[in-house]
Structure 1
């Protein structure tokens, strides 16, 4: 109702970023019981007041790191009480690594053609950090440059990155000829929740599909189907992290970062190979 939204908007305006506020304190400010505020807030914004505050803090934290602010000062100015809390519950990588944005890293990449169209595979010294599909090299390079703006991107030559050349061939054979999905080293970067989701997706066998809700339950967050869909959409390592095997609860394709036609092709090919 409009009154609930007005109360919840007031709660948001009074919610500090740089210090933790408890639900009872916020309820007192809004002149509501804790249970009523919690229920009303979630009904209006689909998330709890605590999750909302943590989201705002994380947005502020990442923005400050990108500007080059100091890690320690940024942690406390964003309202986080310790480095471990930021690392374990939110980013999945150290703040220093996030702020580096690829500084000092060399990323080799190549853009071969595949059954699904032009493909980019990129790798750091740790492993594959990107597999994406598109229609031209510039659009494929854009997300890589966005994610690693300070890294040195180098077009792969076989003599300089023989592993990448072999990995691309293995992935292409998997997509086009049905060879087993290659077990390649991956350099996975994301939030703690995203990494948890992506690691679970690696366990979904070829020919099997799960709904967003089923995957959410498997990662111990059964009410987070929407957030899980977002995590799938943030996956930048196509096929190797098989987010295409996650569907809507009614069996519909749902979404796919690289287009539903590619998702349908992958699923149809996997289904045929299992028959």
Structure 2
């Protein structure tokens, strides 16, 4: 994605399979809050999946797509988990995001919270819970995404910086370092002035490209080589691997069979605030487990952004290390994978011990 994804409230998806709903209640999965509610026949109440109350027997629980449907069926809201508040909170966050995106400069937390109708301290926690980012981090990511887009259109770097909403180049260069992985001029010039070391390494699933800047890994992929890396960064200084990258590449190859081997590998991948939130959610999926695209969208507080979550998975530059192969469609089918469905199936089979 070259621009910050604009996400608007969307109709709730169809009610997940009852077994999926029940499993979410058993693990008190906050990521599923807002996607459905559970109705307890013995008490007459409905709860959100993360409710801390004692679980009822399975035969006493049914599921509805939203609180309104539960109330229509004769149930009342749980006074412990307040399931109706989930929708209100998410609407407030959507309102705040629209406000941030319309602002010419990064607004103050107090201004954003007041616009959403919340106290600043409370809204700061709420916004981070729903999006995985603070309001300020979201705003910085948005502005950096605008800078990335402007760099592709404007003739001069300075013009692109001011078009993106920066008052001075200094802040733009700080944000670019965090979100683009290189300076604005280097990004515009296809990596000019950036040194990238690279090599291919054999794994149990075939050859892998491993490339890194001085900050960390910037590309891990199957079936690529120098030509593909050059196409991504045509002006970068591509250098053969040194001893440090050789050691890192060996650990990358081990990830295919031992996902824990890469827990502390350095990375240098940058994206929009939304992409970063999706990638963090991917890294939180335990090996051997899968999540649907809808569950990933819900995990970052954006249940209506299923398609955008799928796009962010496709924008992943670090195969296996950021495990987008653990995301499947809601019906359990494979969905897509940038490096081929055979690789995805093989990775999942290895992680499940098959």
CA distance in 2, matches of 1:240, 1:155: 22
Please name the residue that 2:345 is paired with.
264
Whether 2:295 is the aligned partner of 1:214: answer: yes
Please name the residue that 1:120 is paired with.
209
Tell me which of the two structures has the higher relative contact order, counting C-alpha pairs closer than 8 angstroms and 6 or more residues apart.
Answer: 2
| CA apart distance, 1:191 | 2.3
Please give the residue correspondences for 1:68-217 in structure 2 after superposition, counting only pairs within 5 Å: 69-71=156-158, 73-77=159-163, 80=165, 92-93=179-180, 95-96=184-185, 98-99=187-188, 101-134=190-223, 139-156=224-241, 161-176=242-257, 178=258, 180-183=260-263, 184-217=265-298
| CA apart distance, 1:190 | 2.2
| CA apart distance, 1:185 | 0.5
Flag the structure with higher helix content.
Answer: 1
RMSD between aligned alpha carbons? 3.2
State the TM-score, normalized to the length of structure 1.
Answer: 0.65
Q: Bigger shift: 185-194 or 258-267?
A: 185-194
**Structure 1: runs of 5+ lacking an equivalent:** 1-19, 22-53
Contact 2:151 2:157 in 1 (8 A): no
CA distance in 2, matches of 1:225, 1:185: 29
Give the SS at the match of 2:262.
coil
State the TM-score, normalized to the length of structure 2.
Answer: 0.52
Q: 1:76 to 1:271 in 2, by over 3 A?
A: same
Q: 1:59 to 1:154 in 2, by over 3 A?
A: closer
CA distance in 1, matches of 2:162, 2:344: 42
Q: 1:106 to 1:87 in 2, by over 3 A?
A: closer
Contact 1:92 1:195 in 2 (8 A): no
**Structure 2: runs of 5+ lacking an equivalent:** 1-101, 104-142
